[in-house]
A and B are shown apart, each in its own frame.
Chain A
Amino acid sequence: MKERVDFTSDPSLLEEALREMARDTPPAGLEARILEGIAAIPVPRRSPWSRIAGALQTPAATWTYRLAALILLGAILINLRDLVALRTPPATPGGPESLASLVPSTAATCPNDGCGFVVTFQFRADEAASVSVAGSFNDWDPARAPMVRGENGEWRLQLILPPGKYEYQYVIDGRRFVPDPEALERQNDGYGGENAVLRLKRCSSV
């Protein structure tokens, strides 16, 4: 049998006693209980901003890595600026050659289990090489809504849009923004020009 020593008089012996204390093992089923409880908690997600901030603050991040993150951030900001520029199209509207009609149709199908509208955009531009629709429904991105040329220089596009209020313009040859001359409502774009306004009210039975 080992010799009894008074560890209360020697801190190093007390430290040793603490180290040698038996480890407690979790009761059976604790892990399962924890996992079961966690399943009821919404899945956590990290926001893009906190990811960028985290990357910049990580001690392991080298200066190159930090620089790359800053360049990426700059690129995002520039993109945002471009997006803002798209949202505020040129003030000068299209010329008199424009003839457009907008036909909201409530007789269409209701996509996504809700009421929606099949909206037909029509616009006459005989000499245009391309015409698109840019509006608040597609982040003012003309590339997302190119129109198809029909007979007699008439361009056409159908979109399914949920109820709501939208502003839009036609984009001729990718650079000229023209508000719909046939629109029932227009709204100042804040830069001296106008956007066409489309209001789609919620339908109850389609």
Chain B
Amino acid sequence: MGVGRMDDREVAMLVARVQEGDAPSFQPIVREFTPPLYNLARKMLSGSEDAADAVQEAFYRAYRDIAKFDGRTRFFSWLYGICVNVCYDAGKRRKRHMEREMPLDEGEAAQPEGGESALERLESRQIQEALRSCLQKIPAPQRAALLLRYQEDLSVDEVAQVLDIGLSAAKMRISRGLAALQAVCRDSGMGGTP
């Protein structure tokens, strides 16, 4: 699993220090996990501001409750779990306020690398936008499972840990998520990928 540059031991050491009251040790943790958490939140929620707020809230909750982290799971699993829950809450709040789709923020998403032609890039971007839009239409728990499994490259076991569900439930959620996403894509008229 390639969350960041630090290995588990370094992270565990920093977490232990924070638990001892050494607040500055939380800074490298924030630096390490902000990019993956933001990527997850940005795809869980549809607006970049919502995603930034969610990441911020996730770190606040993690810091406030870090004494409760007992080391039985890897730290990133615990942190991702918090972030997913924050995204669930934010999604519910947002749904209450607006039922419309937010447009993708221009120029925010990184472009895929490679020597593609302008047409290919345009097509690739269109597909990605369409896929993002379809992701927003499947249930949030399934969306979280798919993003953790495929975007964050977690094992099914790790997905189960993050979502605090059993292994078979995680497998089921991923499988159903894929089926749901496939159906939404089909209904949206998506049929191509590079």
A binds B: yes
- Digit string of A1-40 for contact with B (CB within 8 Å is 1, else 0)? 1101111100101111111111111110011011101110
Q: Which residues of B have CB within 8 Å of A15?
A: 150, 178
Interfacial residues of chain B within 39-70, with CB under 8 A of chain A in the complex: 39, 42-43, 48, 51-52, 55-56, 59-60, 63-68, 70
B128 within 8 A of A: yes
Q: Which residues of A have CB within 8 Å of B39?
A: 23-25
A150 within 8 A of B: no
- A14 partner, pick from B42, B71, B181, B194, beta carbons under 8 A: B181
Q: Are A22 and B109 in contact (CB under 8 A)?
A: yes
Q: Are A33 and B56 in contact (CB under 8 A)?
A: yes
Q: Are B63 and A8 in contact (CB under 8 A)?
A: no
Q: Are A20 and B112 in contact (CB under 8 A)?
A: yes
Q: Are A23 and B151 in contact (CB under 8 A)?
A: yes
Q: Are A34 and B23 in contact (CB under 8 A)?
A: no
Stretch at the interface among A47-55, A65-73, A97-105, A114-122: A47-55
Q: Are A17 and B131 in contact (CB under 8 A)?
A: yes
What is the distance, in angstroms, from A69's C-beta to the closest C-beta of chain B? 14
Q: Are A50 and B191 in contact (CB under 8 A)?
A: no
Tell me the complex Cα distance, A83–B191, Å: 76
Q: Which residues of B have CB within 8 Å of A7?
A: 185, 190-193
- A37 partner, pick from B56, B190, B194, beta carbons under 8 A: B56
Q: Are A38 and B190 in contact (CB under 8 A)?
A: no
Q: Are A34 and B109 in contact (CB under 8 A)?
A: no
B1 within 8 A of A: no
Q: Are B34 and A44 in contact (CB under 8 A)?
A: no
Tell me the complex Cα distance, A38–B192, Å: 44
**Tally of chain A residues near chain B (CB < 8 A):** 45
Q: Are A41 and B51 in contact (CB under 8 A)?
A: no
Q: Are B131 and A57 in contact (CB under 8 A)?
A: no
Q: Are B192 and A6 in contact (CB under 8 A)?
A: yes
B11 within 8 A of A: no
Q: Are B70 and A58 in contact (CB under 8 A)?
A: yes
Interfacial residues of chain A within 63-104, with CB under 8 A of chain B in the complex: none
Q: Are B67 and A46 in contact (CB under 8 A)?
A: yes
Q: Are B30 and A22 in contact (CB under 8 A)?
A: no
Given the known interface contacts A7-B193, A31-B34, A38-B60, the answer about A47 and B67 at a Cβ–Cβ threshold of 8 Å is yes
Q: Are A26 and B52 in contact (CB under 8 A)?
A: yes
- Digit string of B157-194 for contact with A (CB within 8 Å is 1, else 0)? 00000000000000000000011011001100011111
Q: Which residues of B have CB within 8 Å of A1?
A: 117, 119-120
B156 within 8 A of A: no
Q: Which residues of B have CB within 8 Å of A30?
A: 34, 38, 52, 55-56
Q: Are B51 and A57 in contact (CB under 8 A)?
A: no
Q: Are A24 and B30 in contact (CB under 8 A)?
A: no
Give the nearest-CB partner of B37 in chain A: A26
A192 within 8 A of B: no
Tell me the complex Cα distance, A54–B42, Å: 33
Residues of A within 8 A of B (CB): 1-2, 4-8, 11, 13-27, 30-31, 33-35, 37-39, 41, 43-47, 50-51, 53-54, 57-60
9 new A-B contacts, CB < 8 A, other than A50-B67, A50-B68, are: A7-B193, A14-B181, A19-B153, A21-B43, A22-B111, A24-B43, A25-B108, A43-B23, A45-B21
- For the complex of A and B, the 6 pairs showing the least CB-CB separation, nearest first, are A18-B150, A24-B42, A4-B192, A26-B38, A46-B19, A54-B70
